[in-house]
Amino acid sequence: MLKKISPFLLLLSIVWSTESSAQNLYLTSIGDTEKETKTIDSIGYKKTFNDYGSLEKEITTLQKKITQIGYIENELLHLKKQNDTTYLASFSLKNKYDHIIIEHNGLVDVSILKLTDFLDQKNRLIIPIANVENTLQFINSEMANRGNPFSTLIVKNIQRLDDKTLTGSLSVSEPKSRTTDKIIIKGYEKFPKSYINRYLKIKTEEVFNLAKIKEQTATLNDLVFANQIRDPEVLFTQDSTILYMYIEKARSNTFDGFLGFGTNESTNKIEFDGYLDLNLINNLNYGESLKLLYKSDENDQQTFDLKLVTPYIFSSPIGLDLNLNIFKRDSSFITVSQIAKINYQINSRHVISAGIHSIKSTDLLDVPTALITDYDSNKYIINYTYTKRQNYDRLFPVNFLFDLSSSFGNRSYETFDEKQSNFYINTFKIFNLNDKNSFYGRLNANYLVSDTYLENELPRFGGINSIRGFEENSLIANLYAVLNTEYRYKLNNTIYVHSVIDAAYFENQISDQKEKLFGFGFGFGLLTKAGLFRFNYTSGKTEDRKFKLSDSKIHLSLTTTF
């Protein structure tokens, strides 16, 4: 009597039978001699396969590897099936060549060939066989970068020179170079066209070089008002080369202000001071910037500063800087300073400028004094600025700044006319120790050189943007140097705390004063939706005076980007 088999057991039996019948295939490769077999084994190859197609593919790959190490005359003698699962591949490696001497016949720029390090004194390429493929790929890539994106190198007329050396000649499939015919901006279509030609230095009708273009467009990240979204792309047609650049407009306008308060030593009353700082950048899509500063401090001093920078005027490489500064101290005097400069941006980080600096100061006192009087000053000014940004860091977007200025000219008052010179430096650097810890150092110095000095012409310093722990612009000197340091620790990407250790030295020849100042304290910064909020608590002291908590200063500021 036959037993009835269930459908499930029947299906399981079929699957087991199919899997048990599928067997792996094995490959063994040998050479003509034992030495050749050892060479093949040293190259290495896969020996187990699921199907015959994979086994054939591995034999082709192995033969290519044999050719690449110098056995260019090798042959696959036969592929035999030894049994149901094992195959034997028999090779004849023949002679091994070490080098090939290639004549380029002037088809490739010698400057490209020199980059390979295989060019001899007779301008021939002598390349180890193992390096031939990579070297030709490198030469082809460099030719593409220099305007031949579709060129292909071929080594022709390969002949045997001796047992170790081959000879050949280069042939280039398409020697005609390409030029950039059109540039299209995607994302920020109103990106200033002058910045493409002058800042990025990318121009149409120039030889197309993709590597150079990528390097140039990377400098977009050094701009405050624009960012590169992704790498540029190129569309090649039969008759033209079109470059696509992907840029987005960044929020770059800033509004900054702070409120400070401290105790007046004479009245023991709390006094307030503060400022407003508005910076408008690229609102007209020309890359221009307009900066407006108004400051009023507890010493009854007011400052109005307006600065306009217009780069690449009339699409030329020259820009224009205009600055108007008005300073008034109570009822003593008022000083109006005007600067007009032309600037030249060497590249994304370096800027040089030169111009004229004119100053007119008016005595407001009812009773004239020898220290404060009307004067006029006219000087020639030169300036150099270097800026390195780190846009990945929203808290500290600028990593390094170096700003150096010098001016020379005359100052006249009453019947006196004197030569004067002025030297100014403002530089800072952030040393990133790791993702959370960094050290900030800043040096700010000013030196006015003159035979005599007036009180209303001396530079002023002190306060949150100078030596902290002292009142805003409360210190005057013909020479001063301020060192600011901070150790910063990031709690996260939006909050940091820091120390405050400041030191300064100044000289005032009018009062025959030479003094050292110190400021100590702490602070924190908080990046909010409204902007960067900063808090500083500092106390200042002179070299001979002890710290007093009553002299401490609290400074609050908020920088908003819009």
How many other CB atoms are there within 10 angstroms of residue 470's CB atom? Answer: 25
| C-alpha torsion sign, points 508, 513, 515, 521 | negative
What is the identity of the amino acid at 470? Answer: F
| Residue recorded with tokens 């250790």 | 501
Q: What is the largest CA-CA distance in the chain?
A: 139
Quick one: pLDDT band at residue 479, thresholds 50, 70, 90?
Answer: very high
Positive or negative torsion for Cα 65, 70, 76, 81:
negative
pLDDT attached to residue 494? 92
pLDDT band at 260 (very low <50, low <70, confident <90, very high): low
Report which residue type is found at 263. T
Instruction: Give DSSP secondary structure letters for 210-257.
Output: HHHHHHHHGGGGG-SSEEEEEEEEEEE-SS-EEEEEEEEEPP--EEEE
More reliable by pLDDT, 313 or 259: 313
- pLDDT score of 20 more than 60: no
Residue 286: CB atoms within 10 A of its CB come to 16
Residue 436 corresponds to which amino acid?
A: K
- Give, to the nearest 10 degrees, the angle between helix 210-217 and helix 132-145: 60
CB atoms inside a 10 Å sphere around CB 318: 15
The pLDDT assigned to 272 comes to: 61
Average pLDDT over residues 102-116: 84
Q: Is the pLDDT of residue 290 over 80?
A: yes
Name residue 465's amino acid: N
Could you read off the pLDDT of 293-318 as tens digits, one per residue?
Answer: 988 876 678 899 999 999 999 889 99
- Please provide the distance, in angstroms rounded to a whole number, between the alpha carbons at the two ends of the chain: 92
Instruction: Indicate the pLDDT class of residue 265, thresholds 50, 70 and 90.
Output: low
Which runs of consecutive H residues, i.e. helices, occur in 169-209? Answer: 193-194
Q: What is the pLDDT of residue 259?
A: 62
Q: Are 281 and 297 in contact (CB under 8 A)?
A: no
Strand-pairing partners, residue 345, are 351
At 385, the pLDDT band (50, 70, 90 cuts) reads very high
CA dihedral angle for residue 523, residue 526, residue 531, residue 537, rounded to 10 degrees: -20
pLDDT at position 13 is: 42
Show the CA angle centred on residue 66, arms to residues 60 and 68, nearest 5°.
105
Closest CA to 550 of 542, 558, 560, 539: 539
Strands, E assignment, 118-225: 125-128, 153-160, 165-172, 182-186
State mean pLDDT over 257-282: 73
* Residues 10/12/15/17 CA torsion (nearest 10 deg): -70
Which tokens sit at 72?
A: 């260019």
Please report, rounded to a whole number, the percentage of residues in the chain having pLDDT higher than 90.
Answer: 51
Predicted TM-score (pTM) of the model is 0.72
Report pLDDT digits (tens) over 192-243: 999 999 999 998 888 888 778 888 888 888 899 999 998 898 888 777 889 9
pLDDT in tens, 480-524: 999 999 999 999 989 999 999 999 999 999 999 999 999 999 999
Phi-psi region of 287 (alpha: psi -120 to 50; beta: other; left: phi over 0): left
With residues binned 3-state (H G I as helix, E B as strand, rest as coil), the percentages for the chain, rounded to 5, are 15, 50, 35
Specify the pairing of strand 531-542 against strand 241-249.
unpaired
Please name the residue ranges forming H helices in 69-183: 110-114, 132-145
Q: What pLDDT is recorded for position 199?
A: 92
Share above pLDDT 70 across residues of the chain, in percent, rounded to a whole number: 91
- 140 closest CA partner among 179, 178, 102, 113: 113
Kindly report the average pLDDT of the chain as a whole number. 87
pLDDT in tens, 117-174: 898 888 889 999 888 888 888 888 888 777 676 677 788 888 888 889 999 888 876 5
The phi and psi torsions of 98 (rounded to 5 degrees) equal -95, -40
